[in-house]
Structure 1
Amino acid sequence: MRIIVIGAGVAGLAAAARMASAANEVVLLERGPSAGGGLNLNGPFTLTLPAVLRDLFVKTGGRKASGGGSLEENVSLVPVDPVRRYVFADGSSLVLPNTARGAAKDAFDTAFGNGAGASWLSLLDHGNRAWSAIRPTLVEVPDATRGELWRLYRSGAGRRALTPRRTLRQAGEGYGFRDPRMSAVLAEYALGAGADPRVAPAVLAIRPYIEHAFGAWRVVGGGPELARAMYERCLARNVTFRFGAEATAIASGAVTLASGERLTADVIVAAVDEQILRRLTGGAPAGERASKASTAAGYSPSLLSAHLHASKDLDLPHESVFFGDTGRDASNARLDALFADPAAYAASGGLSVPADPTLRISAAPEQPREFFVHVDVPAGLSDEAAHGYVPTLVELAARRLGLSSDNALTLQGTVTPADRERLTGVPGGSVNGPAITSVSSALLRSPTVQPVKGLLHVGASSRPGPGLAFAALSAWNAAEVLRPTRI
């Protein structure tokens, strides 16, 4: 079977490797000069659900025991502990441990007072119930439809697991979240999934649960190292790469390139954003009604990132979150900015970046003088506005880290929303694609099997959703569709 994969990001590389391992002839088209997509923009990053990548490397490693099949034989994968440090505006902090339930309870009690730990564990248990409900019915079912979701709603256990009429914030309050700092921590999980915390559905409790249950890991060398390993695995499985090959149209069994060349295939796998897929097919992908809420809300935020070098060694955890003002008014202003339409927001004369933003800092112990600082910004933020804010971002990072003038920070590079859009094609450089505003927009994103015959969709805007592990899982879904040749 001849297969064309469009896009060499995580989902495209994973799909190509899996399908080529099943004795298919696979050609991967990438409009850029190299493989990896958004991975090449990541420094140190946190990986959850490592089993997805482990399965990918084992299943594509060849039959020989010496084939170097496992993930750990191709990259250095290590657990991170603590998972991250949260530092609040009042100077207090939460150090979140990796996987240990008792340690997590103690950490929350220490940071927020007795009872906070039990409240956090109750939220994790909620996430466990939700994950147990959706994993076998919606996540690992390539052609699941709205019917599967309605069947869950019709059962008492399914409704209790998904709580479709409750937001994540309301779920936290129901489990005893009284301290605004705890709500701020929960809001970061919502933002990490591409959801406005004020309307994020309670089903997103699966995010902290997955991190807690399966652990947090890092790839030594960050995103580019994982991109290298996935690219080399594709080459080992005889995937043919064509770089600088931009697809401009998809029809049943055919892809047209910007050069005018027309390629034919039995199956086409589009590892692109939903809006790009709509443009390529000249119509609406299947499931548009299902993702109506996310379309109305627009796209989730982008990131402005700065790579910094300190003149002296720093002792930083793998990941830190430094909150600005966690008061409700400040939080609302920040979220209004992040989820606003960029053009309308700029026309209103509002600040493009909140004055006192939350900063995420990621670091690797093998490079004690280097780190990356990231701030959420509206998708579509202009390069001019982004670069104009970078000096403030560097100053804020130094202040939040308590660095003195004798430990100066040097800017090594920046990644703007426009950079992300140029590399990935995702509108506005959004990190997680369409915003999540409901259970449907979280779980029923663009489906794997599309209405165009022989067309499959994978990636962050497809099912099962955004995030590196889920993007790789979408490729597993596509490979499962091909196994019984159901398209």
Structure 2
Amino acid sequence: MARTAVIGAGMGAMAAAARLAVAGHRVTVYERTETYGGALRRVERDGFAFDTGPALLPLPAVYRDLFVKTGKEPLEDRVELVQVDPAARHVFADGTEVALPNASRAGVVTALDEALGAGAGQRWGDFLVRAREAWDRSRRPLLEEPLWPNWSVLAEREPYPAVPHRRLLRTRRAATPAEIGAFELRDPRLAALLEGHALAYGLDPRTAPASAAVLPYMEHAFGVWYVRGGLRELARAVYERCLERRVEFVFGAEVTRIAAADGRVTGVEFADGGSAEAEFVVAGVPPETLDRLVAGAPVRGAGEVPPQRGLPSRLTVLLALRGGRPAGTAHRTVVHCADREAELQALFGPAPRMPERPTVTVTRPDDPALVPDPEHEAVTLTATVPALPGDAADGDALGAHADRLITAAERAVPGLRDRLLWHEVRTPSDVAEATGAPGGAVPAPALAAAGGRLLHPANSTGLAGLFTVGGWSHPGGGLPHAGMSGALVAGLIVEGPEFRGSQ
């Protein structure tokens, strides 16, 4: 039985821990905070409860596989999954609204035609067909297999199919989501629909590769799901599965060094001066933290994928409302800003700042477990914001931006301010505290093309016995991707370098 130390109790780290324990490893998870789940946290106050991380689960098959492989037990025996319908309601800048059915191409086409005019649905449907082609081309190497040694093939090859567009006597092909919107969708509201998916993952649709089309496709093809009681319940279920497989958790344990000798890990050392021996170390930490822990050891070679840096964060506003949730309310509403270009320039320009008019996601779960009684409603507002180092986090500026989110949300929740009992703001600093990421940066999913700029480092490293897991390593950020990274790391440790992913 190999001794394995896991640094961090995020979702990817716990997924790896459970799988390794089933394979016979003695696994101990060392978490610097006092709880598990990484970004999947919960705030409770006055009988209200709120998720402060992801609000919906795409691709639940990843966690279904985890539970079957670590106990031959369905995920649904541990949590109640609810497929939300509609998948999302969208409020566009011109006041147009549309509710898109969950995982129904015909329903989406009809809804868009009725809301935006004849032909809009067909253009979006045709786009989804091309997005499926991109998904089929990139799914295995980006999600189900360890990162290829010849990863430059993924960096150079754009999986989104070329659609020639003739303009000014020249033929052009869409290279970014923004260009897909302009050349292929040809409606500012459809363009906003696509760009909103990229922005939600912290990507600039003007510079992200066209392969970002897989993000809306993933939701369309596999649906989006809610976990009754909040997504924190998924973290609880995975944590409990780890305990059942005799994974040991040590909370409040800050790892300060990964010990090594003769080019191989030997264990970990802690802030209190203690240490623990280990044949394998799985690090679920941001790249800056990993660099500090290895103290100059050769973890990444010159020809390998570099870590992503400079990614944005998120601002979350928790609203306690008087009055119950109206019947027929959409679980998720995206309120699109009036000036997308100004928003993108603020977020991704040379001096990132809070946009004056943000795109806001309004989450309104139909869940009695989140409110003190049926006469109240728990609502969460989320927006992409710049990552802010601790010394740059201006409380007044963040408070003012939270007020902008509330103002934008009034377009989706009539009478919102009149119903407001209280609100709390979760800032990039709170994200940093939960995840350890500098400035509260949130990793994006791995995407092909763009010169490899949106790939993530491989799970294996140049230091024998050291592996990385979670959003900052292959296959990147997002709940499904975290679960996949856990499966990849476990496979690489158990089967060795010849492991090629699930079949």
Rounded to whole Å, the distance in 2 between the matches of 1:133 and 1:75 is 32
* Residue pair 1:273, 1:433 contacting (<8 A) in 2 also: no
Give deviations 1:337-388, integer Å, cap 9, x for gaps: 22256xx55xxxxxx4222211111121124611101122111161512234
Q: Does 1:206 align with 2:211?
A: no
Residue identity matched to 1:302: S
Letter in 2 for 1:452: L
Q: What is the aligned partner in structure 2 of residue 195 from structure 1?
A: 203
With 266-275 and 231-240 compared, the bigger mean Cα shift is at 266-275
Larger displacement relative to structure 2 (124-133 or 143-152): 143-152
1:26 and 1:14, CA in 2 relative to 1: closer, same or farther beyond 3 A? same
Deviates more, 1:276-285 or 1:144-153: 144-153
Question: What is the alpha-carbon distance in structure 2 between the residues aligned to residue 371 and residue 226 of structure 1?
Answer: 20
Cα distance in 1 between the residues matched to 2:256 and 2:163: 39
In the alignment, the residues of structure 1 paired with residue 405 and residue 242 of structure 2 have an alpha-carbon distance, to the nearest angstrom, of: 38
Q: Deviation at 1:430? A: 1.6
Give the Cα–Cα distance (whole angstroms) in 2 for the partners of residues 442 and 111 of structure 1: 36
Match of 2:413 in 1: 401
CA distance in 2, matches of 1:200, 1:216: 23
Contact 2:154 2:449 in 1 (8 A): no
Aligned CA-pair RMSD? 2.7
CA contact (8 A) 1:304 1:377 kept: yes
More moved, 332-341 vs 312-321: 332-341
Which residue is equivalent to 2:60? 50
Tell whether 2:481 aligns with 1:448: no
Which of 164, 173, 178 pairs up with 2:182?
173
What is the distance in 2 between the residues matched to 1:379 and 1:358?
17
Distance 1:244 1:152, change over 3 A: same
Hey, what's the Cα distance between the residues in 1 that align with 2:485 and 2:126?
Answer: 29
Shift of 1:194: 2.7
Alignment partner, residue 114 of structure 1: 118
Q: Deviations over 1:440-475 (max 9, x none)?
A: 546631111011111111111211121110111011
Q: Pick closer, same or farther for the CA change 1:180–1:117 going to 2, 3 Å.
A: same
- Alpha-carbon distance, 1:309 to partner: 1.6
More helix by share: 1
The alpha carbon displacement at 1:412 in A equals: 4.1
Q: Secondary structure at the match of 2:41?
A: helix
Give the structure with the larger strand fraction.
Answer: 2
Instruction: Work out whether 1:322 is the aligned partner of 2:335.
Output: yes
Among 225, 241, 256, which residue is 1:233 paired with?
A: 241
Is the 2:174–2:180 contact (alpha carbons within 8 Å) kept by the matching residues of 1? no
The code of the aligned residue for 1:464 comes to P
Distance in 2 of aligned mates of 1:190 and 1:151: 18
SS at match of 1:222: coil
Which residue matches 2:192? 184
Equivalent residue runs for 1:277-316 within 5 Å = 277-283=290-296, 285-286=299-300, 291=305, 295=308, 298-315=309-326, 316=329
Q: 2:402 — aligned with what?
A: 390
Shift in Å, 1:479 = 1.1
Residues 249 and 436 of structure 1: is their aligned pair in 2 closer, same or farther, counting only changes over 3 Å? farther
Equivalence map 1:196-275=2 (5 Å): 196-250=204-258, 251=260, 252-275=265-288
- What is the deviation of 1:188? 1.2
Question: For 1:424, which of 409, 432, 435 is the aligned residue?
Answer: 435
Letter of the aligned partner of 1:29 in structure 2?
Answer: Y
Give the letter aligned to residue 337 of structure 1: A
Letter in 1 for 2:241: R
| Distance change in 2, residues 1:436/1:152 (3 Å) | closer
The answer on whether the counterparts of 1:304 and 1:415 sit within 8 Å (CA) in structure 2 is: yes
- Output one character per residue of 1:164-202: Cα deviation in whole Å (capped at 9) or x when no partner: 981122234343x11111111111111233311111101
The alpha carbon displacement at 1:332 in A equals: 2.4
Q: Does 1:336 align with 2:336?
A: no
The one-letter code of the counterpart of 2:398 is A
Deviation of 1:300 after TM superposition, in Å, equals 2.4
Q: Helix, strand or coil: the match of 2:9?
A: coil
With over 3 angstroms needed to count, the CA separation of the structure-2 counterparts of 1:4 and 1:74, relative to structure 1, is same
In structure 1, how many angstroms separate the alpha carbons of the residues matched to 2:292 and 2:59?
32
Q: Are residues 369 and 335 of structure 1, via their aligned partners in 2, closer, same or farther at CA, if it must alter by over 3 Å?
A: same
1:415 aligns with 2:426: yes
**Alignment TM-score, normalising by the size of structure 1:** 0.87
SS in 1 for 2:16: helix
Residue 115 of structure 1 deviates from its aligned partner by 1.7
* Residue segments in structure 1 that go unaligned for 5+ positions in a row: 63-68, 346-351
Alpha-carbon contact 2:337-2:357 (below 8 Å) kept: yes
- Any idea what SS the aligned residue of 1:253 has? strand
1:460 corresponding residue in structure 2 = 471
Q: Residue 479 of structure 1 corresponds to which residue in structure 2?
A: 490
One-letter code aligned to 2:186: R
Asked if structure 2 preserves the Cα contact closer than 8 Å seen for 1:199 and 1:438, the reply is: no
Deviations 1:272-291 (A, max 9, x none): 12222222223475377655
Change over 3 Å in CA distance of 1:448–1:80 after alignment to 2: same
Q: What 5-or-longer segments of structure 2 have no aligned partner?
A: 43-50, 165-172, 369-375, 499-503
Alpha carbons of 1:25 and 1:377: their partners in 2 closer, same or farther (altered >3 Å)? same
The equivalent residue for 1:137 is 141
The answer as to whether partners of 1:162 and 1:203 remain within 8 angstroms in 2 is no
Q: Closer, same or farther in 2 for the Cα pair 1:299/1:231, shift >3 Å?
A: same
Segment drifting more, 315-324 vs 276-285: 276-285
Is the CA contact 1:253–1:453 (under 8 Å) kept in the aligned structure 2?
no
Distance 1:288 1:202 in 2: 27
Q: Secondary structure at the match of 1:89?
A: coil
Distance in 1 (CA, whole Å) between partners of 2:301 and 2:133 is 26
Structure 1 counterpart SS, 2:235: helix
Scaled by the length of structure 2, what TM-score is found? 0.85
Q: 1:150 to 1:361 in 2, by over 3 A?
A: closer
Separation in structure 2 between the aligned mates of residue 319 and residue 312 of structure 1, nearest angstrom: 18
Is the Cα–Cα contact under 8 Å of residues 300 and 435 in structure 1 kept in the other structure? no
d(CA) in 1 for partners of 2:416 and 2:242? 47
